[in-house]
Every structure is written in structure tokens, then in C-alpha cells.
Amino acid sequence: MRTLMADSAAVRRATTILATAAAALSLASCGDDAENREFGTFTDCATVGRPVVTNDPAGDQRRTNGTPDDSAPQGDLTVLRVAKSPNRLCAEFRVKQPIKPYVAFVLTMRPQDADTPVVQLEGTVLAGQAPEAFLDASGTGRSFRKIEATVGIRGDRLSIVVGRGPFIDQKAEALFRSFRFQARSAAAVKDEGRVTDCLPVCQ
């Protein structure tokens, strides 16, 4: 679990799910302080295991055509923390500004010494509903299934905690035990476009 991977061309869902999203809306939440706003159930990954922490510079988001775009800082990745125990996996995404709809975050997982199989764990933030988690072990990025997971937002951070069960259901238990990873975000912008970011590097 301790190595990073280059960008994966198969990460499509994060942009696909936002295709019909309009302008971003504020989350209904408890509390008025945007930096500490909570929605769903947020988990500090350090409570699951010792996190592997990776930083990413702010201001490196791109549109789908490759041009820079800073209009959706709620998707501008700055830190990724990944931790696991024998039975739980935690991914914690941190961004430049407090999270609000519409944005999606994806953790892409591959074997330590091979390019396949590919498993993608996704958290989505849409208006009017709690954040949700999905898993796709097909390698295509087109077969996401909603899974039981603990997903939450605290200000500028989103966490996903998932057990071993969904990986077993999709015949991906081996990757649950050991993997290298890469993160991606996609956020809708007002002109119905999308901007993306990836960590550690986009290629």
C-alpha cells in the first residue's frame, strides 16, 4: 500500500457522474463555520491505521482539454492520506477550500508490481443528499456499484472508510491487502464544464 502510481487513463467515472451537474451549491450542514462544516460521518484515517501521506501543490487543476482552471477549488487536491487495518481501508482527500457539490474523488488501486487489475474507490458529493461511496473492480471505470461505507466531509476534507466485504464481492480481495495508488478529483463548474486534478501527477 505504500507506493504511488502514475495517472490512470481508466479513471472516467469522476467526470462522467458530473456530466449533468449545474452550478455548485452549498451543502446543508450543521454549524456555520465552513472550515469545520461536517456532512455525513467524517473519519480521521489515523484512527484506522498509520496513514501514508502524499502532498500535491494547489492550483494545478485542468479542464478536460488541458487548460488550467482555478474556478473549482473544492476539487483542488492538496493532501491524500491512505490507511488500512486488516479489515478496513480509509482514504482521506483534502482540497484547497471547503467541499461543496458537485465534486467526486477517486482512489485508484493497482498491484504493487503490475498494471492490472485496476480497482477504483469513489466518493461523490451531490446536492441534496449525503456523500456516497462506489467501487469498480472491472478495470473499465464503467461498472461502479454503490457500496456500504462510511463517507463524510469535514470542511476541506472528505473521508471514505470501507471494509473488506465490497472487495470480496467484486473479487478484488488481493488488492485490498496490498496496492499502489493514485487519486483524482473532478468538479463541475458553472459553464457545465469539468475540471480535474490528480495526485501525485497527471500524465
pLDDT in tens, 148-194: 999 999 999 999 999 999 999 999 999 999 999 999 999 998 776 88
What does pTM read for this prediction? 0.84
> To 10 degrees, the CA torsion angle through 185, 189, 192, 198?
-20
Number of domains in the chain: 1
Domain membership flag for residue 63: yes
What CATH code is carried by the domain that includes residue 82? 2.60.40
Domain membership flag for residue 190: yes
Q: In the prediction, which pLDDT does 25 show?
A: 36
Query: What span, in angstroms and rounded, lies between the C-alpha atoms of 143 and 166?
Result: 13
Q: How confident is the model at residue 69 (pLDDT cuts 50, 70, 90)?
A: confident
The torsion region of residue 3 among left (phi > 0), alpha (psi -120 to 50) and beta comes to beta
pLDDT at residue 147 greater than cutoff 90: yes
Domain membership flag for residue 28: yes
Domain membership flag for residue 88: yes
Low-confidence winner among 44-48, 161-165, 192-196, 199-203 (lowest mean pLDDT): 199-203
Show the domain range for 129.
Answer: 3-198
Domain membership flag for residue 203: no
Widest pairwise Cα distance in the chain? 46
Low-confidence winner among 8-17, 59-68, 145-154 (lowest mean pLDDT): 8-17
Query: What span, in angstroms and rounded, lies between the C-alpha atoms of 95 and 113?
Result: 29
3-state helix, strand, coil in the chain (%, to 5): 10, 40, 50
Domain membership flag for residue 8: yes
